Homo-oligomer: A and B are copies of this chain.
Amino acid sequence: MAKELWYTEKGVFSPGFQLNFKIKESLHKEQTPYQLIEVIDTYTFGKMLLLDGLVMLTELDECAYHEMLVHPAMVTHPDPQNILVIGGGDGGTIREILKYPIKKVTLVDIDKRVIEVSQEYFPELSKGGFLDPRVEVVNADGTQYVKEQNEKFDIIFIDSTDPTGPGAVLVESDFLKDGAANLVEDGIWVAQSESPFFAPEFLKTYTNNLKKLFKIVKVYLTEVPSYGGVWAFTFASNKIDPLAPKRTAPFHRILRTGLKYYNPETHQACFTLPEYLRTLIT
């Protein structure tokens, strides 16, 4: 009997819990100046992108991450035109953003090899986006970028790796402060914010730091099984409440068909937190 191959992911925040993925084959492995990039083909989740051994996305459930990172803010903002993405080299986030009639999206990823490898192995995420003339790619350190550039953005999406390795600086107060200064007055900050179940203290600290910079700070949830289940995002703004009734009109911007996870009812429900999280955050 042929030996089964499995990949075991050792999560950053759950030393006593791991996920095992049965492997068809290893497709790519490369050490860049920033991180180890791997692509493996798995039985249950399809192709999977790993950075420094951590699951970044799988074909099967990346929709639940990318749709939920992007649509709540895009649908809530009255007229999003100029968007910034920090991280997101796999292209899934800009794929969702480009479903709206925006003027420009700037993607800042420190590692251009993530973009190139994604274009080769994940064309459904990255092919259309990086060819779109509205997309500008900047290969730079996100912390430096927000400190030095002068544009103002309607929405900033933090599509970072886990807060370890090159992604660690993207959760620090300095980055949040510099980043928030890049927003227009009614701008929105959305960040992937780890597993609220395995990393509740991280979420608490991150939301507390956002509350020093923004009047409205909310946590919302999605479900990414290849990340271990429930996953948190933070939504922050000085002007815009994602649940304000008058903000529901722009839902027509997104057709129901074509999305796999997000829908108008999910928009309302995803901001509802189970009791252990409600009491943690408030």
Residues in A lying within 8 Å of B, measured CB to CB: 6, 8, 14-22, 42-45, 61, 63-64, 197-198, 223-225, 228-230, 256, 259-263, 265-266, 268-270, 272-276, 278
- Expressed in whole angstroms, the Cα–Cα distance for A14 and B45 within the complex equals 10
9 additional contacts (CB under 8 A) given A44-B198, A224-B229, A260-B275: A8-B20, A15-B43, A20-B20, A197-B225, A225-B230, A228-B229, A266-B273, A266-B275, A268-B272
Would you give 20 A-B contacts (Cβ < 8 Å), ordered by A?
A: A16-B22, A16-B42, A18-B20, A44-B198, A61-B197, A197-B225, A198-B225, A223-B223, A225-B228, A228-B229, A259-B275, A260-B274, A261-B274, A262-B275, A265-B272, A265-B273, A266-B274, A266-B275, A268-B269, A269-B272
A94 to chain B, nearest CB (A): 21
Q: How far is the CA of A19 from the CA of B20 in the complex (A)?
A: 6
- Tell me whether B268 and A274 are in contact (CB under 8 A): no
Distance (Å) between the CB of A50 and the closest chain B CB? 15
A225 to B61, CA, bound (A): 16
Q: Which residues of B contact A223 (CB under 8 A)?
A: 197, 223, 229-230, 274
Which residues of the other chain, B, contact A63 by a CB distance below 8 angstroms?
276
The count of identical subunits is 2
Cβ of A274 and Cβ of B64 under 8 Å apart? Answer: yes
A185 to B197, CA, bound (A): 40
Query: Are B15 and A17 in contact (CB-based, < 8 A)?
Result: no
Q: Which residues of B contact A265 (CB under 8 A)?
A: 272-273, 278
A195–B17 Cα distance when bound, in Å, is 19
Of B15, B43, B44, B263, which contacts A274 at CB under 8 A?
B263
| Cβ–Cβ contact A17 & B17, under 8 A | no
Q: When the two chains form their complex, are residues B17 and A20 in contact, meaning their CB atoms are under 8 A apart? A: yes
Contact call A18/B6, Cβ cutoff below 8 A:
yes
Q: Are A16 and B8 in contact (CB under 8 A)?
A: no
| A81, chain B: closest CB distance, angstroms | 26
CB-nearest residue of chain B to A272: B269
Neighbouring B residues of A273 by C-beta, 8 Å: 265-266
The residue in chain B whose Cβ has the minimal distance to the Cβ of A23 is B16
A43: chain B residues within 8 A (beta carbon): 15-16
